[in-house]
Amino acid sequence: MTGARRGAGGGAGAPARAPLGGAARSCAAVGALEGRGGTPAGPSPGLGVRPPAASVPGRLELVVPAGGAGVRLDRFLAGVAEVGTRSQAKRLIDAGRVRVDGVARKSAHLLGVGARLEVELPEPEPLAAEPEPLPLAVLYEDADLLAVDKPPGMVVHPAPGARRGTVVNALAHRLGTLAGVGRPDRPGIVHRLDRDTSGVLLVARTAPALEALARQFRTRTVQKVYLAVVRGHLGPVSGTIDRAVGRHPRERKRMSVHSRRGRAALTRWTALERFPGATLMRLEPETGRTHQLRVHLAAVGHPIVGDRVYGPRHAGRTAGGLAFPRQALHAAEIRFDHPSSGARMVVRAPLPPDLEQLLAGLRQAGSSTAKSSRSA
């Protein structure tokens, strides 16, 4: 893990609190998130600021400072610790729980200096996941986030058919304090990995951290590196796959490059090592579509070894007769800006034992093939 905290965690334009029944004072928090090169990282107003709780439980009263002038209502509220995300802010606004100077407004409403906001907070929903004492390999942890090394076969959050044994169940046991950080069924989850994909997974510990990290995924400033073993050999050493990905036109549980409503998807790849009938590849997705890497590689005729959804019918067998029970895909590295300091962070996850064994077997098969060729 590289990267260190630098700079203050406050955000310009933080809302001022007005005691209920008293006079309101407008103020601006000092400090901004420092990004790469020392420039402001551009957080939502108030991001990282934790003002004192409202005097009436379940209700907030805020005053817009100078730094919040001209900011959208939903973006402004996302910077309030008790709200935390744009999606939660929108839900509150759409439900009529937010008033600006006594009037319900839309999410896109632009705020003026001194505007008085009244926010009715709903009761926190109980976590949908029961705590379970499951092993969890933590790669990095601080007050804002943690990065875990998700093992293959483990689902990220509860879903139909997988209510227990998930990463969220393990987090609930380890932390027990993620209520209110995102959706109740997936608290703290910033992004996901498929059940059978191993590697680095980021988890936010606070609502402001969740919003900051989610914004980086939206703006594509998060950089991810995957390692995969694919079938066959791609011609050049490196290249790009630029094909839209969307829901399969007939099989709704699959994704496809032939979707009628595909979204732009781009994957950069580099061939690291070639074996008889297989290649170890480095993959860098610039977009984050569902199953993007698996779909892209299958579309160019080189599906990931072991992929039973996008590979051939007997995708569990590699060249040389080696069995592999899952898609040979590993999230090896992730780079992002720390949600409080703005420092560029790098988290890496080592190859899991099953992939190490797969590569050892392929190297051995390659060595045997080379010896046979020399003997002939």
How far apart, in Å, are the Cα atoms of 117 and each of 68, 74, 79?
12, 12, 13
Closest listed residue to residue 366, CA positions, set 303, 273, 301: 273
Q: What is residue 72's DSSP assignment?
A: B
Residue 60 tokens, joined: 């907030």
The C-alpha atoms of residue 262 and residue 256 are separated, in whole angstroms, by 8
Chain-centre distance of CA 21, in angstroms?
41
Tokens of 120: 């009715």
**What is the enclosing helix (H) or strand (E) of 375?**
helix 353-375
Say if CB 69 and CB 115 are below 8 A apart.
no
Residue 194 annotated to the active site: yes
Cα gap 243→259, rounded to integer Å: 10
CA distance 280 to 330: 11
Query: Residue 12, exposed/middle/buried by CB under 10 A (0-12, 13-18, 19+)?
Result: buried
- Are the C-beta atoms of 301 and 278 separated by less than 8 Å? no
**What is the Cα Rg of the chain in Å?**
24
Task: Report helix, strand or coil for 157.
Answer: coil
- Please give the Cα distance from 87 to 94 (Å, whole number): 10
How far from 20 is each of 115, 118, 143, 151, 279, CA to CA, in Å? 15, 10, 31, 49, 65
Partner residues linked to 202 by β-bridges:
147
| CA–CA gap between residue 371 and residue 373 (Å, rounded) | 5
Backbone angles phi, psi at 16, to 5 degrees: -90, 145
* Burial class for 1, CB neighbours closer than 10 Å (0-12, 13-18, 19+): exposed
* Active-site entry in 144, 194, 307, 337: 194
Instruction: State the catalytic residues.
Output: 194
